Amino acid sequence: ALIIYDLTNRYLFSSGSIALQELEWHIFDFIMLFSLYFTLKLDGHVRVDIFYSKFSEKFQRYIDIFAHLFFIIPFSVLVIYTSFDFVTISYLQHETSSDPGGLPYRFVVKSFVIFGFGLLILQSIIRLKNTIQR
């Protein structure tokens, strides 16, 4: 609805809003980062099922454990670690949009990275625990 409103204003009334366009991008960022966690919760991430489905259940568990311990969790920790200064500096500088009429509080949007990957780590730990207990 937000995009339709923005497009209608921009092309029919020649009245675009930079703040509205940035808000669309920020909402998209949040949706994408949140979907990482949610897709893992639903077990919907991509696998090479032509191979994975042919393995025994025990071997599938080993693959899942390996993926969580050596890919998902370390990568997520690395992203959070490298993003922390990025968010902190943005907060301390009260960073706003560089575009005139853009949105303030850019650090809130940047903190979505830490929040999204933090949720991914928590969900990965839950799935890892459940996989080990199976």
Burial label for 34, CB within 10 Å (0-12, 13-18, 19+), is middle
Determine the Cα–Cα distance for residues 4 and 91; give it in Å rounded to an integer: 31
Burial class (CB in 10 A: 0-12, 13-18, 19+), 99: exposed
- What's the pTM? 0.84
At 18, the pLDDT band (50, 70, 90 cuts) reads: confident
Count other C-beta atoms under 10 Å from residue 62's C-beta.
12
15 SS3 class: coil
- Give the whole-angstrom CA distance, residue 40 versus residue 126: 10
Positions of E strands within 22-134: none
pLDDT for the residue numbered 50: 80
pLDDT-based confidence at residue 102 (cuts at 50, 70, 90): confident
